[in-house]
Amino acid sequence: MIRICAVIISLLFATGLHAAPLDNKDGFWSEWSDATFERAAREKKFVVMSLQSWWCKWCFVMNRETWANPEVRSALKDNFIPVHVDQDSRPDISQRYEAFGWPATIIFGPDGKEIVKLRGFYSPQFLVPILNETVKDPTPVVYAEPPADRARSLATGLSQAQRDDILAFIDKAWDRQHGGWSRSKFVDGATFTWALERARQGDKENAERLKRTLNGMLSMIDKETGGIGQVNLSVDWSKPVREFPMFAQESGIAAYSRGWVLFKDPAYRQAADRIYGFLKSYLAAPDGSFYVSMGLDEGSPGVDKRVYARETAQAIAALLAYYDATGVTEARDIAIKAARWALANRAMPGGGFRHAEQDKGGPYLADNIEMTKALLALHRSTGGREWLELARKTADFIAANFIEQSSGGFVVSASPDAKHLVKPIKQREDNVTAVRTFNLLAAYTGNERYREIAEAGMGYLTSPAVLDAVAYLPDVLIAEDELRNEPVHVTIVGAKDDPRSADLYRAALSYPMPHKRAEWWDKREGALASPDVDYPDFPDGPAAFACTKNFCSYPVTKPGEIAAQLESLKRALKL
């Protein structure tokens, strides 16, 4: 089995990053559950799992051409239990096997052990021999072991050599002819955030690279719907894929909104407006929640109208990035409505958030860290104190349920994926979000425990388990940079019912820096959560103060002066 599968895998698999609603009227598919694996053990059958996504083109093709094929069904009939898992519905299973793309096909033995893992589309011609050989010789294929975890470390940053290696790989990935990082053009929020920060710091080369990427990415904004596709498969930006998951909308609208403020290009504002229109017209549910995704490629499945806490939180963050840059209050109000929906429909009695209305696993880190991030963004964008308190409570739930004490990292799920998959996994992107969010929450609250959690998480991100697994790591650079440098801190001191205060706060929000602590102190509400600055009364009415932990700028009273005030503070901080 090892030899035959290794040959097939190395020579014949077709990669497919790109499924559709599943018709299971004939009962062909079973669900992922302990009961299914108990049945497999009892009947001495293999479990073959197809991990798919709603918008995934090649999942749809494989359902039609492979799983419905009579020869494939004959090979499965007596010895296999086919299991379908929608990757959006089960973040734990999705993140365990995400390296194999969608569709991923995983074959388990009757004892629940993995035998073979297949990446992408397989035609009947290639899948049937693998199924038959599995029955003949169920010896597991030997895959390269992932880098081992490092014990919890006091290291909270990269070495200069590690940093240089990551920067060199990012530079190597740059497409000098067509722009964009890599040959396939992905909507990657981490890359945009990293490049925008470099541009804002005066890095002219990365400023030009970011602008070229934003210009090329305009081709990925769908002419019909306004949504931004997650990938363009052509090196010259000519083959946009019509797959519109929520994370791509968040990344795209944030990049264009902040890019518009930084570069003043009206095309970027128009792009942000179009993605905002897509969110409102296609993914916003009537009750305030947000749908998961939309697919218009193979099979044209349309809008996936399931509703998860994770995607609703991503929509909140997207709307607030747009609001901060543009001042469109409708976007802020939609974000608030979405948060109210999540609190009413996804918050759990004991704290934290569940994924769906009824979960078969979890709770999951992804839902809870995205909600913490969204609630903290609501505090930033509105000045409302309730959102900060809710962010703290959700962060406390994460700290109690998802931190792996041995490594300092954050695990995907608070419960095992299944009885036979008990080893927890840690997903890098969610760990980066956790480190960044806990670090910023520490700045807002003054709670050093959150800072300590962020530092321990950074220790995991600088371990071989992360650095030796992937070379393209702009997100790790961002997390490290934010941990090393305090956020730009701007506070508006003034009554919240005073239009002058509101104008100052709007100007503070529009400054294009994600790592920012923006606060609105109406003294009638009592002290701020972290009263680390003693703001004087200013006789001329509402005023804006830009502060570090050691000093504050002279207050300004005109919205147009805030950007220069923050630039001056940035130079003082050497950011």
Give 549's pLDDT tier (boundaries 50, 70, 90): confident
Cα–Cα distance, 267 to 259 (Å, whole number): 10
3-state secondary structure of 554: coil
Residues 6+ apart with CB under 8 A from 112: 37, 40, 41, 47, 418, 419, 420, 421
Q: Report residue 432 as tokens.
A: 């980066």
Under 8 Å between Cβ of 402 and 414: yes
Question: CA 326, 212, 566: angle at the middle one, nearest 5?
Answer: 45
pLDDT digits (tens, 9 = 90+) for 353-371: 999 999 988 999 999 999 9
The confidence band for 10, taking pLDDT boundaries of 50, 70 and 90, is: very low
Q: What is the mean pLDDT of residues 35-40?
A: 96
Q: What percent of the chain has pLDDT over 70?
A: 95
Q: What is the pLDDT of residues 141-188, one digit of tens each?
A: 998 877 878 888 778 899 999 999 999 999 999 999 999 998 889 999
Count CB atoms within 10 A of the CB of residue 59.
Answer: 33
Identify the bridge partners of residue 117 per DSSP, sorted by sequence position: 106
Element (H, E) at 71: helix 70-77
CB 366 within 8 A of CB 92: no
pLDDT at 535: 84
In DSSP notation, 445-496 reads: H--HHHHHHHHHHHHHHTSHHHHTT-S--HHHHHHHHHHHSPPEEEEEES-T
230/221 Cα distance (integer angstroms) = 10
**Per DSSP, what are the bridge partners of residue 244?**
294
Residue 119 has pLDDT above 60, yes or no: yes
* Gap between the Cα atoms of 510 and 506, Å rounded: 6
Q: Domain 489-573, CATH 1.10.760 — does that match?
A: no
Is 489-573 the same fold as 175-345? no
Alpha helices, H only, 137-245: 160-173, 189-200, 204-217
| Residue 7: per-residue pLDDT | 33
Tens digits of per-residue pLDDT, 208-218? 999 999 999 99
In this predicted model, what pLDDT tens digit does every residue of 265-292 receive, in sequence order?
999 999 999 999 999 999 999 999 999 9
Neighbours of 264 (CB within 10 A): 9
For residue 362, the tally of other CB atoms under 10 A from its CB is 23
Q: Angle at the Cα of 314 (from 308 to 316), degrees rounded to 5?
A: 105
Three-state DSSP class for residue 50: strand
Q: 508 and 562 in contact (C-beta within 8 Å)?
A: yes
First and final C-alpha spacing in the chain: 56
User: Does position 20 have pLDDT exceeding 90, yes or no?
Assistant: no
Q: Report residue 28 as tokens.
A: 């062909």
Q: Is 539 left (phi over 0), alpha (psi -120 to 50) or beta?
A: alpha
CA 144/CA 163 separation, integer angstroms = 25
Q: Is the dihedral of CA 520, 521, 526, 528 positive or negative?
A: positive
Question: Average model confidence (pLDDT) for the chain?
Answer: 92
* Strand arrangement, sheet containing 291-295: 243-245, 291-295, 302-307
Locate 305 and state its tokens.
């109208």
Q: List the beta bridge partners of residue 541.
A: none
User: Between the CA of residue 498 and those of 254, 504, 521, 560, what are the distances in Å?
Assistant: 29, 10, 12, 17
Q: Above 50 in pLDDT, residue 84?
A: yes
Per DSSP, the three-state class of 552 is strand
Q: β-strands 291-295, 185-186: how paired?
A: unpaired
On whether the CB atoms of residues 378 and 387 are closer than 8 A, the answer is: yes
Cβ atoms 394, 368 nearer than 8 A: yes
When pLDDT is averaged across residues 390-408 and rounded to a whole number, the result is 97
Domain boundaries, the chain: 2-136, 175-345, 489-573
Alpha-carbon distance of 554 to 285, in angstroms, equals 46
The token pair at 526 is: 């009592």
At residue 288, the 3 state secondary structure works out as coil
Q: 175-345 has which CATH code?
A: 1.50.10.10
Residue 148 carries which side chain, given as an amino acid letter?
A: A
Distance CA 285, CA 291 (A): 6
CATH class of 2-136: alpha beta
Task: Tell me if 25 sits within 8 A of 63, measured CB to CB.
Answer: no
Could you give the maximum distance between any two Cα atoms of the chain, in Å? 85
pLDDT at 572: 65
What are the structure tokens assigned to 400, written together? 């109690």
In terms of Cβ atoms closer than 10 Å to its own Cβ (0-12, 13-18, 19+), residue 28 is middle
Torsion angle, CA of 75/81/85/90, rounded to 10 degrees? -150
pLDDT tens figures, 465-512: 999 998 999 999 999 999 999 998 999 999 999 999 999 999 999 998
Question: Whose CA is closest to 184, among 192, 173, 193, 195?
Answer: 173
